[in-house]
Structure 1
Amino acid sequence: MNASVPIKHTQAENDLFDRFDGAKGGLSGSVAVTALREAAVDSIRSKGLPHRRVEEYKYSDLRAFMKSAAPLAAAADADSVKAALDSHETFGDLDRFRIVIANGAFLAELSDVDALAAEGLTVTSLCDALAGEQGGGLLSAPKSGDGDGVIALNTAFVQGGVVVEVKDGAELSKPVELVQVAASAGAQITRNRIVVGKGAKLRLLETFVGDTGKGELNTVFDYNLADGASLAATRLIVGKSEAARLFTTVAKIGGEAEFKSLGFIAGPRFTRNQQFIEFTGENSEAKIYGVSMAGGDDLADQTLVVDHSVPHCNSREFFKTVLDGRAKGVYQGRINVAQHAQKTDGEMMTQALLLSEEAEMANKPELEIFADDVICAHGATSGQIDEDLLFYLRARGIPEAEAKTLLVLAFLAEAIEEYGEDDVTEGLEARVRDWLAGH
């Protein structure tokens, strides 16, 4: 007979339980949603926050990092939100539609709701959807992420977000930016359901503005691609922050569909960008890219699971990491191929560039294959700047600092340019230069 030993809760975990008890009445949702929230908190009570003894968090110990947990952010002041948006220049003058979430709540009055509707996209409040009969389905966990601690935190405390639906055959004339604004300190917990209809095409920019103080940012993007749909999602996790930045992608890809994403990390103290991708229809393709930059004592974690559940699908994963100071980079990638998923083609590559002797990179690419007619491969490299290339540039009169910048930019630009969204490339490469200027 095995008896479970109760864990000793940390200060952060006790803060979370107090947060839940204090906020429970103000968190929206149907009876089913409330039950899911309570089950998520019970899971945290029994397991604690994710820690190094959990295999998926071996290199990113959230329990050790979170010393306390701040209350949820209060309702945002409209003037503060407008001021934050006015100073938001991530993509310069790129013409785009905008959906605004501030302190966890959808702000329709600051979003291009009418213009989007005219192009075939509807956007509604997640809070309203959670209160409906189908609300519980919006908080479902991915197949490979069931029991994940970060998703459990999101389920327990989700304040709001949006439900975006693109009608069949629609192709928007310009990208859609979903921007989350911290108008004041406090934890922000959001979830966004993005449904792309049959044959529809959407380009999505996911950005964040402001500082949550000691409160974590935990957001889930739940993508559903119908047959023949296309989605390109660019995620920026940038700016200094001493609180955890926790991002989760859940994607289900229908038949003959195309999913493409880029996760860009630069600046926060502790970042985990995790993705759970599942093919549910045949003859589809997923291209997943990642660019991470970390310095000082920062940690940048890119974690990825791709489930090839059906035959005749292709996936490509390409991740680049640059580390300076005592920073730590993490890449955990796994391709799962089911027994009946014949004719699968999957390739995974992660490459790291270490700019200091104290920087550390943990690479963990994996393949789990149960089919026999497949093409799958993975690779990982870590190294320093090529001294021969550096000498070549310096011999032509380029100062050492500038030469290093050019080499690092070229290293990261390979992933950015292969991603292929030309209208965001300039903004992303400008972010790389900004980061390098500070290191």
Structure 2
Amino acid sequence: MAIVTPLKTAAEQALAQQFANVKAELPGGVAVRKLREDAFAGFEAKGLPHRRLESWRYTDLRMLLREANPLAVGSAESQAVRERVAALKLDGLKLVLVDGAFSADLSDLDALPDGVTIQSLADALVSQREDLTRILAGPGVAEGDAGLMLNTALMRDGVMIEIAAGIELAAPVSIISIASGDEERAIFSRSVVLAGKGAKGSIVEISESAGAKAAQINSSIVFETGDESEIQHVRIVTRQAAESVQVLSLLATVGAHAKFDSFALVCKAGTVRQQHFVRYAGEHTEIGLRGVNLLGGQEHSDVTLVMDHEVPHGTSRELFKSIIGGEGTGVFQGKVIVRPHAQKTDGGMRSNTLLLNDGAVMFNKPELEIFADDVVCGHGATVAQIDGDQLFYLMARGLPRPQAEALVLQAFAGEAVEFVADEGLRALVMGEVENWLATREAPADKGTV
């Protein structure tokens, strides 16, 4: 019987060699090393995700990564990096990763809030903590994803944040990930947020580049939140080289009578694949996943999510807004799974897109997998152009067309941004939206109506 051996691309061969070269020096004890080995074996069996895989149909990573960049092995704290970090006006605790490595010098660790513990992931990996490999694995619906397996195998550093039971953070905790941009590098990092029973707070992720060189970034963040907790997550991905390719994974396990909200803004970021794997671990919990994608040029943004209702009385809401111009491409793939015992589930999923010109493209694929009979679930997707009546109304009152369009687009994106509960973070996100609208390539002014 003939044995068929799949051909490996140059990037896949390079990744295999890189893992062989560095696996002995990557942080972690025996259990973590086994986790890495198993993950890379799974990745090798699958290879880089490609368009023949349904969940990666619209983002062919095998085609995008013709070559694998050299691995980033340390923090390149250049003057440009320091200036970029200093330019970010953020309240609260700031934790900085440079090329995926935790930088204590650039982080603000002088005044940790009571009940909050911070350590680098590299330190956590060698701590012999018994539950760490379970935490790192995340929800079961994340199992088998090749992009995530590669991250598990090669993760070198990140941050681990623990919020004790009953603690309410007065200000957000920010994880600032800066690609130095001095050389083309591949960055693999993972961060973990553990929130105890009744904990409340906001976690912010900001991903930017301080240089012109393109990066290959594969990062993930794991949330494990206790009963009665309220955690808000905000991610801003921007200011990356046009050739950059990013795979960003969010893994969340949420306890009972809890709230978890995540919002993501993507603009001026090259090619981005965001994937969310979320599991309900307790009843009477509310989870919301929302975001805004602002695309131009040949930018590509893929939002893929799996919401796993394992228990009854769960509420989920997903809302993603995309504004696409140039030859940009947007993707939304949302799957809500309602298990047989998850009665009284209430789920609503929506993707709304505005295409600014003929070259822009949007792919929508919402799915419901319902195995219970007492549920209320629905989904919807729209793709349209700017409403002519709205433009007419504004232009008839003397506004030039570019300004009228900007107001319409701002209101469109704002419907999702309004779900960011923290006022300061909402203003930060809206400021990025307004900056994109002000600098985008707008159509020529055709005068007033």
TM-score range, shorter chain: over 0.9
1:95 to 85, 88, 91: 91
Contact 1:141/1:151 (8 A) holds in 2: no
| Residue 277 of structure 1, CA deviation | 0.8
1:424 is aligned to 425
What's the RMSD between the two structures over aligned residues?
A: 1.7
Contact 2:136/2:222 (8 A) holds in 1: no
2:440 is aligned to 438
Contact 2:316/2:346 (8 A) holds in 1: yes
| Residue 141 of structure 1, CA deviation | 4.5
Structure-2 separation of matches of 1:435 and 1:256: 38
| Residue 138 of structure 1, CA deviation | 4.3
| Residue 263 of structure 1, CA deviation | 1.2
Q: Does 1:239 align with 2:239?
A: yes
Contact 2:10/2:67 (8 A) holds in 1: yes
Contact 2:76/2:99 (8 A) holds in 1: no
The amino acid across from 1:106 in the alignment is F
Structure-1 separation of matches of 2:179 and 2:148: 21
| Residue 123 of structure 1, CA deviation | 0.6
Structure-2 separation of matches of 1:342 and 1:289: 24
TM-score, structure 2 normalization: 0.92
Pairwise mapping of residues 237-316 of structure 1 onto structure 2 (< 5 A)?
A: 237-241=237-241, 242-316=243-317
2:229 is aligned to 229
Gaps spanning 5+ residues in structure 1: where? none
| Residue 114 of structure 1, CA deviation | 4.2
1:377 is aligned to 378
2:447 is aligned to none
Gaps spanning 5+ residues in structure 2: where? 442-449
| Residue 211 of structure 1, CA deviation | 4.9
1:120 is aligned to 115
Pairwise mapping of residues 408-423 of structure 1 onto structure 2 (< 5 A)?
A: 408-423=409-424
Pairwise mapping of residues 17-416 of structure 1 onto structure 2 (< 5 A)?
A: 17-78=16-77, 80=79, 81-86=81-86, 88-89=87-88, 92=89, 94-116=90-112, 118-133=113-128, 134=130, 135-183=132-180, 184-185=182-183, 186-211=185-210, 213-241=213-241, 242-416=243-417
Contact 2:307/2:337 (8 A) holds in 1: yes
Q: How many residues align?
A: 433
The amino acid across from 2:440 in the alignment is G
Between the aligned residues of both structures, percent identity stands at: 39
**Cα shift readout 1:321-346 (whole Å, capped 9, x = no counterpart):** 11111111000111110111111111
Contact 1:265/1:291 (8 A) holds in 2: yes
Structure-2 separation of matches of 1:24 and 1:143: 25
**Cα shift readout 1:126-177 (whole Å, capped 9, x = no counterpart):** 1122123334334315311211011011011101112110011101111111
Structure-2 separation of matches of 1:9 and 1:238: 32
The amino acid across from 1:64 in the alignment is M
Structure-2 separation of matches of 1:334 and 1:193: 24
The amino acid across from 1:115 in the alignment is A
Contact 1:268/1:298 (8 A) holds in 2: yes
SS at match of 1:239: coil
- When structure 1 is superposed on structure 2, of 218-227 and 21-30 the one drifting more is 21-30
Contact 1:283/1:312 (8 A) holds in 2: yes
Contact 2:138/2:222 (8 A) holds in 1: no
Contact 2:11/2:67 (8 A) holds in 1: yes
